[in-house]
């Protein structure tokens, strides 16, 4: 379904849309569920997260993981896009999930191993990011699967992402590196 939407976009926006969709599909085995755009912080987030069986710390760890995965994911996609330039292959046709590397077999042999290496390296980095934020990959995937059915949880994740981005922005303004 997402491929149909992406195909209608101009090429530069298609790549950006693929990156956005991949942000939550990389570790979830391809069961992609995009987070809606953040609209602000909602009070009572911790209570709502607990009601869904996901602790406030897990929400923060999940949000931090998604944000931290952005740069390595963009690097991986840029590397893959560079490899695909001039080949007639589209990046949107490649399953970038960590469990979907078998679909890379559709690529020409001269690209397959290089792209597989990039995807595997990204997956290893993403896994390390998730674990550094206090989650297991299994728990990260469970939260990824849960939030589309739980609007309160999705809002908590959005709020945590906004809060983390704001605190990172104020840290940079104040000269802190944390």
- pTM for this entry: 0.67
Torsion angle of the four alpha carbons 65, 66, 72, 75, in this order, in degrees rounded to the nearest 10: 180
Report the alpha-carbon distance of residue 9 to residue 39 in Å, rounded.
24
pLDDT at site 9: 44
> What single DSSP character describes residue 94?
S
Helices 151-173 and 137-146: crossing angle in degrees, nearest 10, is 120
Using alpha carbons, list the distances in angstroms from residue 153 to 43, 64, 124, 143: 13, 15, 26, 9
For residue 38, give every residue at least 6 positions away whose Cβ sits within 8 Å of its Cβ, in sequence order, or none.
Answer: 158, 159, 161, 162
Report the alpha-carbon distance of residue 172 to residue 178 in Å, rounded.
8
pLDDT at site 85: 87
pLDDT at site 43: 36
pLDDT at site 122: 94
Domain spans, the chain: 55-167
pLDDT at site 13: 45
* CA distance between the termini of the chain: 39
pLDDT (tens place) for every residue of the chain, 178 residues total: 334 434 444 444 444 444 444 444 444 444 333 333 333 333 344 444 444 589 999 999 999 999 999 999 999 999 999 998 888 878 887 777 787 777 788 888 888 889 989 999 999 999 999 999 999 999 999 999 999 999 999 999 999 999 999 998 776 655 655 4
- Exposure string over 108-134, b if 16+ CB within 10 A, otherwise e: eeebeeebeebbeebbebbbebbeebe
């Amino acid at each position: 379904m997402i491929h149909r939407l992406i195909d209608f976009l101009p090429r530069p926006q298609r790549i950006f849309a693929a990156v956005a969709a991949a942000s939550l599909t990389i570790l979830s085995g391809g069961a992609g569920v995009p987070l809606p755009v953040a609209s602000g912080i909602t009070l009572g987030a911790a209570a709502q997260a607990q009601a869904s069986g996901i602790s406030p710390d897990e929400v923060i760890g999940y949000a931090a993981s998604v944000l931290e995965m952005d740069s390595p994911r963009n690097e991986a996609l840029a590397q893959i896009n560079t490899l695909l330039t001039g080949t007639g292959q589209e990046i949107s046709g490649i399953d970038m999930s960590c469990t979907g590397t078998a679909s890379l077999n559709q690529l020409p042999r001269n690209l397959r191993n290089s792209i597989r290496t990039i995807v595997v390296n990204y997956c290893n980095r993403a896994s390390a990011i998730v674990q550094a934020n206090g989650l297991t990959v299994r728990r990260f995937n469970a939260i990824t699967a849960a939030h589309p059915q739980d609007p309160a949880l999705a809002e908590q994740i959005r709020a945590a992402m906004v809060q983390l981005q704001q605190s990172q922005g104020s840290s940079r303004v104040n000269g802190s590196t944390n």
